[in-house]
Amino acid sequence: DITPLIRTARQVNDAQPEFVIEIIKRGFGIDAPSDLSGKRISILGLAYKPGVDDLRQSPAVAISRKLSEYGAVICAYDPFISDKEIPGIEIVQSWQSAVEHSELIALLVAHDLFKKLPPEELARNTQARVVVDAVNVWSSTAWRTAGFTVLNLGNGKIGHKYN
């Protein structure tokens, strides 16, 4: 009796990277994956879950790889990952380096460092003004006040846009 539920849960989990990519495309105002070519995207968080350095089966890595396959330029930072190499993804040593030349910032793992990141400080370090909060930890009001458009996943309104 539980087998269909397990299968459905696996299908939902496997589809999450595509949901996030759809939200990122929406952040750029594009429809086709090929339109991501050359777009500079910062990824905050690569680990499987907050507070760990494990990349195995990480949705964030899957999203980053897929974006890279579409031609996006990916620069990522994870405070727990410093010595890993992932083809198509530039891993840097600070969130400031990750966002410096970004057009869009995607928060993919709710590490404490990222949850506490003041939007005003991020705004001073990047020209990007669109953030995708795929873990729903940033206050949309605070980020909007700092001049960002916020796209959320996880608040019951997939891809809900806050201007």
Q: What is the strand order of the sheet 104-107 is part of?
A: 89-91, 73-77, 40-44, 104-107, 130-133, 149-152, 160-162
**Average model confidence (pLDDT) across the chain:** 89
pLDDT-derived band at 16 (thresholds 50, 70, 90) equals confident
Contacts 24+ apart (CB under 8 A), 150-153: 151/23, 151/24, 151/26, 151/27, 153/19, 153/20, 153/23
pLDDT digits (tens, 9 = 90+) for 106-128: 999 999 999 999 999 999 999 99
Residue 155 phi, psi dihedral angles, 5° rounding: -105, 15
In angstroms and rounded to an integer, the radius of gyration of the C-alpha atoms of the chain is 15
Task: Supply the pTM of this predicted model.
Answer: 0.87
Using CA atoms, how far residue 130 sits from 22, 62, 106, 111, in Å, is: 14, 21, 9, 20
Res 15 pLDDT > 80: no
Most distant CA pair in the chain, distance:
54
∠ CA(105), CA(106), CA(108), 5° rounding?
Answer: 150
pLDDT digits (tens, 9 = 90+) for 137-161: 999 999 999 999 999 976 544 444 5
Res 11 pLDDT > 80: no
pLDDT-derived band at 1 (thresholds 50, 70, 90) equals low
